[in-house]
Amino acid sequence: MKRKERRPDSSKRRRFRGARAKRVIRFILYPDLKKYMEHEVVEGEKGAKEPKITKKKVGEEVVDGRKCDKYQVDVTASDGKTFQGYIWEPKEIKDFIVKSEFEDQEFKQTMELKNLKLATPPPPLFEIPKDYTLAAGFLDLMDEKK
């Protein structure tokens, strides 16, 4: 018996071009409850828009002992809402924010990292502890807290 090799007819093939969305799953750990939740973030999905961010250097300051460039930042969210604030980036670490201040009529938010150490963390820090269980949802967490 002879074996025939079959090849698809090129006239019947359909060509397409597309991008596969990048799937990212974030975990939130609740140490007191020994539970965790998963949150899927899909980047590149149709309709998912990144905010428009512009930054302008306005000076230099020292934050937690590091020489930083200070930037004025304008953020326009996908819904059109705008925010303005300041961020500080160390000169020795590109695009890493060690301090930020944002304020408008509704809120004031300040974040500052202290005692920053640049090192490779051990891999177990990125694993869910074996004795944790997946929470079914926020209600599952609320029931545990009672």
Q: What is the pLDDT of residues 3-59, one digit of tens each?
A: 444 444 433 344 334 445 567 788 888 888 999 888 887 665 555 578 899 999 999
Torsion angle of C-alpha atoms 80, 85, 86, 87, degrees rounded to 10: -50
Question: Residue 67: phi, psi to the nearest 5?
Answer: -70, 125
What pTM does this model have? 0.57
Give Cα 39 to chain centroid, integer Å.
11
Please indicate whether residue 58 or residue 81 has the higher confidence score (pLDDT): 58
Please tell me the predicted confidence (pLDDT) of residue 145: 55
pLDDT digit string (tens) for 91-131? 998 889 999 999 877 888 999 999 988 899 898 888 888 99
